[in-house]
Amino acid sequence: MPAFEKKLIAGICEAIAGNHAEAQRLLRGAQGTLPESEDRLIPPGYEFVEILETLAKETGQNAYREIALSFARGIQIYEPWTGWAYAFDAAYSADSDERVRATALAIKFDPKSAWLSKLTPELLARGREWLTRNDQFRIRVPSRETKS
């Protein structure tokens, strides 16, 4: 069995057993062995975040969600076009400004995200407004006018 799956399964078992420190250690180890997405139906990073989200809900331990949030923010830097990472950030960030920015970018890259569907209409409206003012991905054509 590949290292990612082995550590992920072991981490899940430890979390369900209530051994949260060991579970978090194993899950961080799984994060370090994430395989490439090439032949997978579900990208391993997405799978990782969903499992951590579920563990947080099932165990009441917010630390799992924090690991997932940190990972999702890393994905935003590594693969800035990956919409699910922004949608997860928008759903769980404690920082109001970060939630608005993440909502906007999730709307841009993954408008049908399941995480976006759980956000309030107010947050979605603020995200759309932010996007109209801060669309970092709009192509800007330089002016051809030359000044003498």
Q: What is the pLDDT of residue 102?
A: 96
CA–CA separation, 101 vs 13, rounded Å? 35
Q: What is the pLDDT of residue 148?
A: 47
Per-residue pLDDT of the chain (148 residues; tens, 9 = 90+): 889 999 999 999 999 999 999 999 999 999 999 888 777 778 889 999 999 999 999 999 999 999 999 999 999 999 999 999 999 999 999 999 999 999 999 999 999 999 999 999 999 999 999 998 886 666 455 555 545 4
Which DSSP string corresponds to 63-90?
Answer: HHHHHHHHHHHHHHHHSTT-HHHHHHHH
Note whether 26 and 3 are within 8 A (CB). Answer: no
Burial group, residue 95, by CB count within 10 angstroms (0-12, 13-18, 19+):
exposed
Q: What is the pLDDT of residue 41?
A: 79
CA–CA separation, 82 vs 109, rounded Å? 7
Cα within 13 Å of Cα(97), Cβ side: 0
CA–CA separation, 90 vs 105, rounded Å? 9
pTM for this model (two decimals): 0.84
Q: What is the pLDDT of residue 137?
A: 63
Tokens, residue 31: 């994060």
